[in-house]
Amino acid sequence: MNQDKKQEFIDIYTSKIHRTGSEELLEYLKSSTFFTDPSAKAHHGNFDGGLVEHSLNVYYSLVKFCDMYEQEFPETKFDEESIAIIALLHDLCKIGLYKKGFRNVKNDATGQWERKEVYEYDDKVGMGHGEGSVYIIQSFMKLKRVEALSVYHHMSAWSANVKGGDSSINVAKVQTPLVTLISMADSWASQFEEVTKG
């Protein structure tokens, strides 16, 4: 685990989020595997501590996208606490979701089979992605509607495709631009920043 990333997350969390129940949620995160979990099974952040690093990357990206939106639409002012909640906590559903395991992989250079450590998907909650994160957050503190919508729909069209064309995302996007902006931030972090950083 990268202690610097853990402390960076905690510093942002405690400086931006002051809602009733936020301290209890942070204590839950500290006692869970959140700070050591990977962010994915085989893609972005598939290493110990990848989840907290991804959450920070999404936070910084969302701040930038919100700043850009506010410059384009000066009548809009996003709440800093909401931005922090949405970005830092959007993937809480991944706590304990990936377990370490092994599989045999053929080494192309030698032709020999080698045992390789991998992450295996181990969903014990069965609640889905965005809805799982909303459920965990709201077990500790109340979300504003725009926050719940943004966390629930942060995977945007991919989430809709998985759910068989769920059109509720279109309704959510009309209610708050944060739904689109968190999706952009999540995509930017996972598809560009984290891929290029290896």
DSSP H or E segment with residue 8: helix 3-16
**Domain positions in the chain:** 3-93+126-191
Average pLDDT over the chain, rounded to whole? 87
Yes or no: say if 178 and 76 are a contact pair by the CB < 8 Å rule.
no
Please tell me what DSSP assigns to residue 66: H
Going by their DSSP bridges, the two strands 98-106 and 113-121 should be labelled as antiparallel
Tell which wins on pLDDT, 105 or 65.
Answer: 65
* Band of residue 1 on the pLDDT scale cut at 50, 70, 90: low
pLDDT surpassing 90 at residue 181: yes
Place of tokens 């701040």: 63
Residue 111 burial by CB count (10 A; 0-12/13-18/19+): exposed, middle or buried? exposed
What is the average pLDDT across 96-118?
A: 83
Note the pLDDT of residue 167. Answer: 67
Q: Enumerate helices (H) and strands (E) in the chain, giving the number of each.
A: 10, 2
CA distance linking residue 20 with residue 164, whole number of Å:
36
Closest CA to 43 of 121, 111, 102, 96: 121
**Measuring CA to CA, how many Å separate 167 from each of 21, 83, 91, 181, 186?**
32, 24, 22, 18, 20
Strand partners, 117: 102
pLDDT surpassing 70 at residue 159: no
* Band of residue 170 on the pLDDT scale cut at 50, 70, 90: confident
Report H helices in 73-124: 80-89
